[in-house]
Structure 1
Amino acid sequence: MLETQKAFLQQINDNKGIIHKVSKMYMDNVLDQEDLFQEIVMQLWKAYPSFKGSSKFSTWMYRVALNTAIVFFKKENRKIDKTPLQEQLDIADINDSADKEEKLAYLYKAVQELNQIEKALIFLFLENQSHKEIAQNLGISEVNARVKLNRTKEKLQQTIKNNGYEF
C-alpha cells in the first residue's frame, strides 16, 4: 500500500501542471480553482487502482481531470464571470515572457464563456494534443473531435471579437 501511495504521489507531482491548467480553465476564482484541484486529486486517487498502464499516466489523468471538472462544475452550479476582456489577446505572441501571464489570464477569461466540452477541447488543443489524442481523452471519434475543435476555436475568436479584442 505504501508503494502504491508513493507511486501515485510521484505521478501527481510529475503531472500537477495538468491539474492546475484544468482548474484554471474551469474556474475563474482562485478559491474555486483550489477546490477543484483538490477534487481532481481525490478522484484520481479513487480511480488510481483502475489505471492499468495501457496508456500514459498523463493521458489517463487528462480524462479523469476533465471529467471531474465537468461534474464539479455542474454539481456546484457555479456562475461563470463574464467580465469582458481587458485587452487584445495575441495567441501568436503568447510566448513573449513579459506579457505571457497577462495574456494567459485574458485567454482564461475568454474560455470561461465556453461550455464544459468546449473548454476541454481548447485545453487539450493548447496541450498540443493531436485530434486522435483529443478524441481518445473525450471518448468521441477523431472526426467529431476535429469538427468540434474547429467550431470551438471559431467561437473563442468570436467571443474575443465581440468583446472588442480582435486579433
Structure 2
Amino acid sequence: MDTQPSFEQMLAENDGRIRYIASRYGGPGEREDMYQEILLQLWRSYESFSGRASIGTWVYKVALNTANSFVRNRVKRNDLHHSISNHVAQQSEAEHTGCQADILTQFMDRLGDIDVGVLIMYLDGLKSEDIAEVLGISDNAVRSRIKRIKREFEQNFVGDES
C-alpha cells in the first residue's frame, strides 16, 4: 500500500473525471448528489483497492457503477417523466448552439449507458483493455463499440463532404 496514493491525492488527480461522470449521468439538480455518492463509494472501497488495475481505472469503475446505480434508483422512484422532459429541453438547447462540447453532448445523449462509459474513457485516453476491465466486457467488445460509436458519430454529425 506504500505505492498507493493517499485518498486526498487520488481525489485531486481524478476530480475532473469524477465530476464529468456525475454531470453526465446526473440530471439537473442531482449532479452534486451523484458526485457526493461517488465520493462516498470511493471512500468506502478505497482500502480494498488491490492495485491490480491503475488507480484511474479503478476510479472509473467505481464512479460508473455508482452512477449507473444512481440512475437505476432514479427510475425506480418514478422520476422518468421528469428526466425525459429535462433531456428534451437540454437537447433542444444544445441544438441551438454549435460548439463542439454541445455537439458531443448531443451525440452522447443518443448513446446507451455502456457506450457513454466507453466513449468517456476512450476520449480520456484509456486503453481498450482498461475500459474492458472497468465495464466488465471483453476487450474485443470495447474495440467493436468504439468503431461503431465512431461510425455513428460520422454518419450523424460529420455528414458527406462531397
Normalising by structure 2, we get a TM-score of 0.76
Give, in whole Å, the separation in 2 of the partners of 1:76 and 1:118. Answer: 20
Aligned-residue CA RMSD (Å) = 2.3
Q: Provide, for residues 120-146 of structure 1, a one-character-per-residue CA deviation record: whole Å limited to 9, x for no partner.
A: 011111111222221122111111111
Q: Does 1:43 align with 2:53?
A: no
Equivalent-residue separation in structure 1 for 2:97 and 2:124 (angstroms): 24
Matches of residues 1-167 of structure 1 in structure 2 within 5 Å? Answer: 7-27=6-26, 29=28, 31-77=29-75, 78=80, 79-80=83-84, 81-82=87-88, 83-84=91-92, 85-88=95-98, 102-158=99-155, 160-161=156-157, 166=159
Question: Which of 1 and 2 has higher RCO (CA within 8 Å, sep 6+)?
Answer: 1
In 2: Cα distance, 1:86 partner to 1:157 partner = 20
1:96-131 residue CA offsets vs partner (Å, 9 max, x unmatched): xxxxxx421331233123211111011111111222
Structure 2 portions without partners, runs of 5+:
none
Q: Residue 157 of structure 1: CA displacement?
A: 4.3
Q: Where in structure 1 are there 5+ consecutive unaligned residues?
A: 1-5, 89-101
Deviation at 1:152, TM superposition (A): 2.7
Q: Percent identity?
A: 30
Query: Is the Cα–Cα contact under 8 Å of residues 57 and 131 in structure 2 kept in the other structure?
Result: no
Cα separation, 2, equivalents of 1:42 and 1:63 = 14
Which has the larger helix fraction?
2
Judge which range, 17-26 or 35-44, deviates more.
17-26
Give aligned pairs, total.
Answer: 144
Task: Give TM-score scaled by structure 1 length.
Answer: 0.74
Other-structure match for 1:97 = none
